[in-house]
Amino acid sequence: MAGAVDKDRHETFEEMIGPVGSPLQHMLLKAARRANRTADKLRLSAQKRFPFILPSRGPLSDLDGGIQVSVHVVSRDPLVLYTPVGGPRPFYSVAAIGRRLASRGATFLLMPSWTLERPAVVDQIGRDLAWYARLCPDHEVIFLCNTGEERRLIAAVGGTAIFSNHNLMISEDVFRPLPDVPVEFDAVYTGRISHTKRHYLAFDIERLVHIATSIGELPPSGARAFLRRLQAQSPLHRIANPIVDGMTASLSQEEVNRVYNQAAVGLCLSAAEGAMYSSMEYLMAGLPIVSTPSLGGRDVYFDRDYCLIAEPEPTAIRKAVETLRDRAIPRQEIRARTLEKVRAQRLELMAYLSALLRRMGSDAPSLSQWPFPPTSALMRWAPVRDHARELAALASPAD
């Protein structure tokens, strides 16, 4: 693409929002973008520093209490917590919640939400692990890595890591083929409103449906302009989300699954991210996948029979979609072959966790059922002070 300015062929802000009505509107959009980026930088700066420098007691100790983290309790006694980590300094969320639990024993299972195949980031993780071991000597930290290379990198800086891709968490009970739903689209793309998602690569596809949500990477005015651009591409392109005041509303997981079943192929178009939940959702629903080359681990469960890796060019993506669409691979076959891989790796993780719990002093029998809920319940985002309060209540003796 002529206007792309980086090696990953990301669009610029101006390209994402498309043509605007007047020079004044364009100026206002750019001003909103600058303000949004400044706010993001301040937020990231606080995340990267506060949990590591604040005192454990006193009036300043809770300055990081508003940081949003997700914490799922895998085991109450012994305490085992599952939490995603990401961003430029991934360990910040562990530091924020962990220093509030320093007086108790605990094990953290860390799920990388963004690729750890970034040497500078992993070097910082190594330094943070050494700092944390001094602060919380009764805590254990285990990285559940999305790729073998991530596991190797974490181990090289002194971390404990296993290969356990986070797409194991996707529920096959929610995402499944629906035989009564007719196929209306050549492809579906689930992608948040972000330059990293490279939506423009899908624009040559004849019949396309988007599932698009905003997490604030663009200011609201910019996100609305981006959605207008998606809508203007073709009368055969549609946004599945309800649009309220120019912004997309969320869909339930059941609604998302229905949209998947209206499409012939699922799209994965980013150059780098985490393992990409939606890639596994597609496969559970029986969709073949067209992906670009990527870092992050989404290709762990791919199969060359129904997953094609295409160059990050609109024409190449369209041709790959048409190829898989015309193959008409039975959805139940894609799902069954995916589940065979998933169930084997779930058993490996269950055996690892059972051994971990025994080592921590549990006398409970080995895990015989998958201990994680669907991602809609697993990802519980809240201020770190709220999670700390809940965990303190778990430790309190019953009345």
Which residue in the block uniquely carries the two structure tokens 């998958």?
A: 370
pLDDT for the residue 8: 86
Which residues, including other chains, have CB under 8 Å from residue 257's CB and lie 6 or more apart?
174, 175, 176, 178, 281, 285
List the chain domain ranges: 1-49+171-329, 64-169+344-394
pLDDT means per 10 residues, the chain with 399 residues, are: 64 87 81 87 83 88 94 97 96 96 96 96 98 97 98 98 98 97 98 96 98 92 94 96 96 98 99 97 99 97 98 98 98 98 98 98 95 94 96 72
Pairing of strands 80-85, 72-75: antiparallel
316-332: b (≥16 Cβ within 10 Å) or e: bbbbbbbebbeeebebe
Q: How far apart are CA 293 and CA 311, in angstroms?
A: 7
Decide: 36 and 223 in contact? Cβ < 8 Å.
no
Could you tell me the sign of the dihedral formed by the alpha carbons of 260, 234, 33, 4, in that order?
positive
Q: How far apart are CA 90 and CA 159, in angstroms?
A: 13
Please tell me whether residue 371 adopts helix, strand or coil conformation.
coil
Q: Which of 87, 130, 134, 81 is nearest to 112 (CA)?
A: 87
Decide: 349 and 111 in contact? Cβ < 8 Å.
no
Element (H, E) at 362: none
Which residue in the block uniquely carries the two structure tokens 């001003």?
A: 31
Q: Rounded to 5 degrees, what angle do the CA atoms 24, 28, 34 make?
A: 145
In CATH, which of 2.40.30.10, 3.30.420.40, 3.30.565.10, 3.40.50.2000 is domain 1-49+171-329? Answer: 3.40.50.2000
Which residues, including other chains, have CB under 8 Å from residue 326's CB and lie 6 or more apart?
none
Q: How far apart are CA 96 and CA 113, in angstroms?
A: 17
121-155: b (≥16 Cβ within 10 Å) or e: bbebbbebbeebeeebeebbbbbbbbbeebbebbe
Which tokens belong to 175?
């995402």
pLDDT for the residue 45: 82
Q: How far apart are CA 300 and CA 304, in angstroms?
A: 11
pLDDT for the residue 3: 46
Q: Rounded to 5 degrees, what angle do the CA atoms 225, 228, 230 make?
A: 115
